[in-house]
Structure 1
Amino acid sequence: MSSDRDFDPDVATWKQLADRLRQAIRSGELAPGQRVPSELGLTQEYGLSRLTVRRALQELRSEGLIVVVQSRGTFVMGEQERVVVTLGKGDQVQARMPDPEERRKYRLREGEPLVLVERVDGGTEGYGAHRVTVVGG
């Protein structure tokens, strides 16, 4: 990544850092499975506060671009196969953050939103928002 410290004063610095990291991921400079520089490393490289760096990383986590693995670090997410869910007449969809039990049940990573599909027959399906495409039937 570029160590250019110039940031536009008219745009939130955390957004600009998130954009730089996002671009490094999309260009392959930071490859799937590769460790993302630590908060401390990014703080030093860009001369930013830890809070600014943390907010940028949180943005990328919420987009599903990076994942924090406890006691190991932060890594670039690999491309995941998407699941296509077709809705039938009367089926309903809800997207929200899961509670801890739902996170375990649907095997969601920390920060990954949940998409719940409630079928007209009473069944419920749950998917990680970063891995599902919902289409009408």
Structure 2
Amino acid sequence: MIEFAPDIPRWRQVADVIRQRIKDGTYPPRSRVPSIVQLMEEFGIATMTAHKVHRSLRAEGLIYTEPGMGSYVSKDAQVD
């Protein structure tokens, strides 16, 4: 787990961690990213918070979700 800053929403802090992992190659293109349940377990966050992390990363074009299969890093994901 990470120590959360009190003045920044938790979903944003977790999304930043996942974004950094994509940037540094921990999650290369087309690799699977943590599921909602895995995010909840790793970061100790609520279900809705984990869903917001995925929604945010999808909106940025960093991940895509295959229904029933999971969420993956976009093949051309670019993190600035």
What TM-score, normalized to structure 1?
Answer: 0.54
Query: Which structure has greater strand proportion?
Result: 1
Using the alignment, how far apart are the partners of 2:11 and 2:59 within structure 1? 14
Identity value in percent:
36
> Aligned to 1:21, which of 18, 22, 26?
18
What code does the residue aligned with 2:45 have? L
Q: Counterparts of 1:1-137 in structure 2 under 5 Å?
A: 4-79=1-76
Using the alignment, how far apart are the partners of 2:63 and 2:76 within structure 1? 11
The runs of at least 4 aligned residues of structure 1 exceeding 2 Å deviation read: none
What code does the residue aligned with 1:73 have? G
Larger-Rg structure = 1
Using the alignment, how far apart are the partners of 1:33 and 1:70 within structure 2? 15
Query: Which structure has greater helix proportion?
Result: 2
Q: CA deviation at 1:5?
A: 2.3
Q: Which has the higher contact order (CA 8 A, sep 6+)?
A: 2
Q: CA offsets, 1:101-131, max 9 Å, x none?
A: xxxxxxxxxxxxxxxxxxxxxxxxxxxxxxx
Using the alignment, how far apart are the partners of 1:20 and 1:58 within structure 2? 15
Contiguous gaps of at least 5 residues in structure 1: 81-137
Q: CA offsets, 1:21-63, max 9 Å, x none?
A: 1111011111111111110011011110010111011000000
RMSD: 1.1
What code does the residue aligned with 2:41 have? Q
Using the alignment, how far apart are the partners of 2:34 and 2:12 within structure 1? 17
Contiguous gaps of at least 5 residues in structure 2: none
